[in-house]
Amino acid sequence: MTESTKLPSGQTRINSLEMRNITKRFPGVLASDHVNFDVKSGEVHALLGENGAGKSTLMKILYGLYHPDEGEILLDGKPVTISSPTDSINLGIGMIHQHFMLVPTLTVAENVALGLPSSRGALTDLDRVSKRIIELANIYGLKIDPDAYVWQLSVGQQQRVEIIKALYRGAALLILDEPTAVLTPQEVDELFVIMRQMVKDGHALIFISHKLHEVVEICHRVTVLRNGRMIGTRPTSETTKQALANWMVGREVGFAPDRGTTTLGEVRLSLADVKCGSDRGTPGLRGVSFDVRSGEILGIAGVSGNGQRELAESITGLRKVTSGKVYLEGQDITNLPPGEITERMLSYIPEERMRDGMIKDFSIAENMVLREHHKQPYSRYGFLNLRGIATHADELIAKFRVKTPSRETMAKNLSGGNIQKVVLAREISRNPRVILAAQPTRGLDIGATEYVREQLIEQRNQGAAVMLVSEDLDEILALSDRIAVIYEGQVMDIVQRENATPEKLGLLMAGVHPEDAAPVVK
């Protein structure tokens, strides 16, 4: 692997890429502070850090989306200037974005050819593109049909199309931005096989991830960033998950919060064969039944888009239930207006917190009373009690450790983690009987994630019934007492946490019943 300078794809190998002393300033923020980073042919180098640590900034500089204020980029020892993504593609750098850049209504070949000049001038050359795709697919073991439409492909297959696209454009170095975030455990394994093959063939890979166990598993070296500064680079063989987490956050962190003890109480939330539509007009839920009891967390595991959103919305009254019943503390709340369901002390931490959980141009204090503004002590006879609202906001800001200049700060000026704390504070402070939490830690950094999880456990221990929807299996396993796996609008199975393994859940998430799986536990 040292002699040949060509990759199997025919592309010249990038032996080394070095970013030296990269500094990038934004008004008031030092996003990247003299960071050094390098990656060699034949290795996976992980870039690890919390939100806002500067990972994205660094990679956007490498991909030509930002320009560094200081520092230089050396390719095989020679300085290069990258002023646009075109430059970086020409140099052999490819990027797999977290959210795929594919046109669903086009075929794989059409997507790959998109934006490239045709070898036949004004006429398309899709047959040649297809041939090349099959060639590349054979070399790297990527099973893909060039004539398949993208909308027909699973998320994992779409990711392979993205990889092919980058290889087709001659990528020798690939930046993978949180590539596993949307995959099932099985798909992650398949991706890792592909990545190992590419590394063996001499590619250089940069792997951005929050998930420490993946970093330890697949990467050779890891570089940790914190607040725009480089904390250090180490071989992964010399480190552990726990050490990396502490390094990343700068203090000791706990992964699985202490769950404490709880007593299982009465059934608070009950669904009986609930069906509803989805936004696309197809069935969203196809008959879902389960109970959530006081003092327990029911985890809803599943790959995104399998009915999680519809589930939460049909319970909260935001989506019309077409058949079946939803009971809250024994009372039928099916299709009641959302306001009335709220009044019965059901709290909801929505998945899209910026869109559904919060009003960006309202102050924190105003956002804190979004649900309760019409009640005392926040208002009386239709007039707001500003003092009551302010006191409430100050209490919650202190209690939930929201980092903000003041309670009058507009919500849009807070970081993602602090916004989630505001939503959490608002929903939890009402002492709800039932809490629905949808992806409560998605996009949050380790510190905020830890905090949100502790709060959910705390609510459970105080007797709330919690339904936790999450695509993160680690989170589901760390928090849930029971786990329901949802697939295509149906609950595949409900398993006790003690009996759940990532493999078993992964199979269920993919719609496969493990042969040895116990019948549905009620």
Of 415, 429, 461, 490, which one interacts with another protein (CB under 8 A)? 415
Instruction: Rank residues 282 and 413 by Cβ distance to another protein and give the closer one.
Output: 413
Q: Does 29 help bind another protein (rule: CB under 8 A)? A: yes
Size of the site for another protein (CB under 8 A): 58
Of 1, 114, 359, 512, which one interacts with another protein (CB under 8 A)? 359
Residue 66 Cβ vs another protein, minimum distance, rounded to whole Å: 6
Window 386-405: contact mask with another protein (x via CB under 8 A)? x-------------------
Q: Does 157 help bind another protein (rule: CB under 8 A)? A: no
Residue 452 Cβ vs another protein, minimum distance, rounded to whole Å: 14
Give dist(CA 410, CA 174) in Å, integer.
39
Give dist(CA 154, CA 517) in Å, integer.
25
Q: Does 77 help bind another protein (rule: CB under 8 A)? A: no
Residue 52 Cβ vs another protein, minimum distance, rounded to whole Å: 6
Stretch that binds another protein, among 3-11, 60-68, 157-165, 257-265 (CB under 8 A): 60-68
Residue 69 Cβ vs another protein, minimum distance, rounded to whole Å: 10
Pairing of strands 383-384, 379-380: antiparallel
Q: What is the DSSP letter of 521?
A: P
Q: Does 342 help bind another protein (rule: CB under 8 A)? A: yes
Instruction: Rank residues 129 and 411 by Cβ distance to another protein and give the closer one.
Output: 411
Q: Does 27 help bind another protein (rule: CB under 8 A)? A: yes
What's the 3-state SS for 231-273? EEEEEHHHCCHHHHHHHHHCCCCCCCCCCCCCCCCCEEEEEEE
Give dist(CA 57, CA 65) in Å, integer.
9
Instruction: Rank residues 419 and 492 by Cβ distance to another protein and give the closer one.
Output: 419
Instruction: Rank residues 148 and 384 by Cβ distance to another protein and give the closer one.
Output: 384
Q: Does 341 help bind another protein (rule: CB under 8 A)? A: yes
Q: Does 90 help bind another protein (rule: CB under 8 A)? A: no
Q: Does 187 help bind another protein (rule: CB under 8 A)? A: no
Q: Is 467 helix (H, G, I), strand (E, B) or coil?
A: strand
Give dist(CA 333, CA 344) in Å, integer.
9
The structure tokens listed for 367 are: 């956002």
Residue 55 Cβ vs another protein, minimum distance, rounded to whole Å: 7
Going by C-alpha positions, the residue among 416, 396, 399, 415 that lies closest to residue 407 is 396
> Sign of the C-alpha dihedral, residues 428, 432, 433, 436?
negative
Which run of H or E residues covers position 317? none
Cα maximum dimension of the chain: 82
Of 357, 440, 502, 506, which one interacts with another protein (CB under 8 A)? 357
Of 19, 42, 44, 55, which one interacts with another protein (CB under 8 A)? 55
Q: Does 412 help bind another protein (rule: CB under 8 A)? A: yes
Kindly tell me the burial class for residue 415, based on how many C-beta atoms sit within 10 Å of its own C-beta (0-12, 13-18, 19 or more).
middle
Vertex 212: Cα angle to 210 and 215 (nearest 5): 100
Give me the numbers of helices (H) and strands (E) for the chain, helices first please. 17, 22
Q: Which residues bind to another protein, rule: CB under 8 A?
A: 24, 26-29, 31, 51-57, 60, 65-67, 85, 97, 99, 101, 316, 318, 337-343, 348, 350, 352, 354-362, 366, 370-371, 373-374, 379, 382-384, 386, 412-413, 415-416, 442-443
